[in-house]
């Protein structure tokens, strides 16, 4: 029998014991060694059982003591510290191009003040501003999270902290966490921009405006948000009956030299512009602005036959003329939602499964559609 089948069987057995009352609220569930001996499974498989039971809100971990059947009343009696561990990259100097995480931090601070919560930050998060974050830096962050575990009610966690670190912190602290700006397979909440709904909303508008040819410029860094936007773009075109001959993908826009990528975009434009009204979709504002300048230099006016859309809505899309049509990531609102999600997870009556939370999708036409 495979380990996947075994851990599901063990999880089901323990759930039956809890649902049937054999394991009452507050009772300790069988230890790793007991599960290994009874079912003949590995340590990893036994730990997956605990993770599954935690995800489904059957058990809670008590630091240093093990896993216990969840008891809502016991959670109501826990004394809260009124502090949040804010393990988000720190503020950096403001710039024209991108103040994304500065705005997320502003939203976190605003929501925390509104809820009369204190934020505990650590100098260990400084390397998060300079990816890739190395193993030593992540270990220092993990140590800082453990050091403040008794002083905080939960954690807000940066996208650049690995799932491996986050899972370890979950096990060792038993505190709720919210990841900001990426999805995760872990049993915790996440907050991201409204990537899927935003892309569908913008493309639906474009179709109704008569656009029939599409170019998608995909960054080389395959982060969660860019993957969501690309996958939604492809699925929307398929759902709308757009043939593969009517769109092009220009890859690695953030890795290859700019002049090379621009040439590839020009090639794609020349292949499609005679077939119908063309929309150029750039994942990021900076590349969208570069494409905008390129179009103007070639006497192609954005919004006049060739539309231009950005997936970010940061500074570069609106601080210069023409203002570029853009999805709105809404980082300030994301910061507020992250605090709200963590507060909700602290409630003794919250038995909901972890989920991805986004602001409502928003879209600005600018002057390039």
Q: Tell me, what CATH number does 14's domain have?
A: 1.10.10.10
Domain residues for the domain of 216 are: 195-327
**Percent over 70 (pLDDT), the chain:** 95
Q: Which of 74, 102, 125 represents a domain boundary (last residue)?
A: 74
Residue 93 sits in the same domain as residue 149:
yes
Whether residue 366 lies inside any domain: the answer is no
263 in the same domain as 308: yes
pLDDT for res 75: 42
- How large is the average pLDDT for residues 263-275? 92
Q: How confident is the model at residue 89 (pLDDT cuts 50, 70, 90)?
A: very high
Domain count, the chain: 3
Final residue of a structural domain among 51, 74, 97: 74
What is the per-residue pLDDT for 348? 66
Task: Provide mean pLDDT across the span 276-305.
Answer: 90
Residues 16 and 134 in one domain: no
Is residue 59 domain-shared with residue 8, that is, in the same domain? yes
Contact 107/88 with Cβ under 8 angstroms?
no
Task: State whether 215 and 166 are in the same domain.
Answer: no
Question: In this predicted structure, what is the pLDDT of residue 136?
Answer: 97
Do residues 92 and 129 both lie within one domain? yes
Q: What pLDDT does 359 receive?
A: 96
> What pTM did the predictor assign?
0.77
Q: What's the full length of the chain, in residues?
A: 369
The radius of gyration of the chain from alpha carbons, rounded to an integer in Å, stands at: 24
Query: For the residues 168-197, what does the mean pLDDT come to?
Result: 93
Q: 254 and 290: one domain?
A: yes
Q: CA 176 to CA 282: how far, in whole Å?
A: 35
The residue with tokens 């502090």 is 83
Query: Count of CB atoms within 10 A of residue 213's CB?
Result: 23
Q: What sign does the CA torsion over 253, 224, 331, 119 have? A: negative
**Which residues fall within 8 angstroms of residue 31, CB to CB, at 6 or more apart?**
66
- State the CATH number of the domain containing residue 118: 3.40.50.2300
Asked if 299 and 242 sit in the same domain, the reply is: yes
User: Partners of 60 in the beta sheet?
Assistant: 68
The answer on 205 and 174 residing in a single domain is no
Asked if the structure places residue 368 within a domain, the reply is no
Residue 363 lies in a domain: no
Instruction: Say if 40 falls within a structural domain.
Output: yes
Look at residue 132 and tell me if it is in a domain. Answer: yes
Average pLDDT, the chain: 89
Per-residue burial over 340-368, b if 16 or more Cβ lie within 10 Å, else e, is: bbbbebbeeeeeeebebbbbebbbbebbb
* CA dihedral for 369, 273, 253, 206, sign (positive or negative): positive
In this structure, is residue 364 part of a structural domain? no
Any domain includes 153: yes
Neighbours of 243 (CB within 10 A): 9
**Under 8 Å between Cβ of 309 and 369:** yes
Q: Are residues 207 and 288 in the same domain?
A: yes
Alpha carbons 292 and 280: distance in angstroms, whole number: 10
Q: Please check whether residue 215 lies inside any domain of the structure.
A: yes
- pLDDT band at residue 144 using 50, 70 and 90 as cut-offs: very high
CA 118 to CA 197: how far, in whole Å?
A: 33
Same domain, 283 and 302: yes
Which of 25, 41, 74 is the endpoint of a domain?
Answer: 74
Residues 207, 184: one domain?
no
């Amino acid at each position: 029998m495979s380990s996947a089948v075994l851990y599901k069987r063990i999880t089901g057995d323990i759930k039956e014991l809890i649902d049937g009352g054999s394991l009452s609220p507050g009772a300790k569930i069988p230890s790793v060694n007991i599960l290994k001996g009874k079912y003949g499974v590995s340590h990893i498989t036994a730990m997956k059982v605990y993770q599954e039971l935690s995800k489904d809100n059957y058990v809670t971990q008590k630091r240093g003591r093990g896993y216990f059947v969840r008891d809502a009343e016991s959670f109501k009696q826990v004394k809260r510290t009124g502090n949040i561990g804010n393990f988000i990259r720190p503020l950096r100097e403001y710039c024209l191009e991108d103040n994304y995480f500065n705005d997320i931090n502003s939203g976190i601070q605003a929501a925390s003040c509104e809820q009369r919560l204190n934020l505990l930050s650590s100098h260990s998060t400084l390397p998060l501003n300079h990816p890739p974050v190395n193993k030593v830096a992540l270990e220092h962050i993990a140590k800082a999270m453990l050091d403040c575990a008794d002083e905080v009610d939960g954690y807000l966690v940066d996208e650049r902290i690995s799932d491996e670190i986050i899972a370890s912190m979950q096990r060792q602290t038993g505190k709720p966490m919210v990841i900001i700006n990426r999805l995760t397979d872990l049993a915790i909440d996440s907050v991201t921009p409204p990537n899927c709904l935003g892309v569908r909303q913008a493309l639906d508008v474009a179709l109704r405006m008569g656009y029939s040819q599409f170019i998608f410029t995909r960054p080389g860094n395959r982060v969660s948000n860019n993957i969501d936007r690309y996958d939604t773009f492809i699925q929307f075109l398929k759902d709308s009956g757009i043939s593969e001959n009517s769109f092009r993908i220009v890859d690695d826009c953030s890795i290859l030299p700019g002049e090379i990528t621009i040439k590839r975009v020009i090639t794609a434009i020349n292949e499609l512009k005679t077939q119908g009204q063309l929309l150029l979709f750039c994942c990021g504002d900076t590349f969208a602005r570069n494409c905008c300048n390129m179009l103007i230099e070639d006497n192609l006016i954005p919004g006049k036959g060739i539309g231009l859309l950005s997936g970010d809505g940061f500074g570069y899309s609106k601080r210069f003329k023409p203002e570029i049509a853009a999805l709105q990531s809404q980082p300030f609102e994301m910061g507020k939602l992250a605090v709200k999600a963590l507060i909700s997870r602290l409630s003794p009556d919250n038995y909901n499964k972890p989920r991805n939370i986004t602001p409502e999708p928003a879209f600005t036409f600018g002057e390039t559609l």
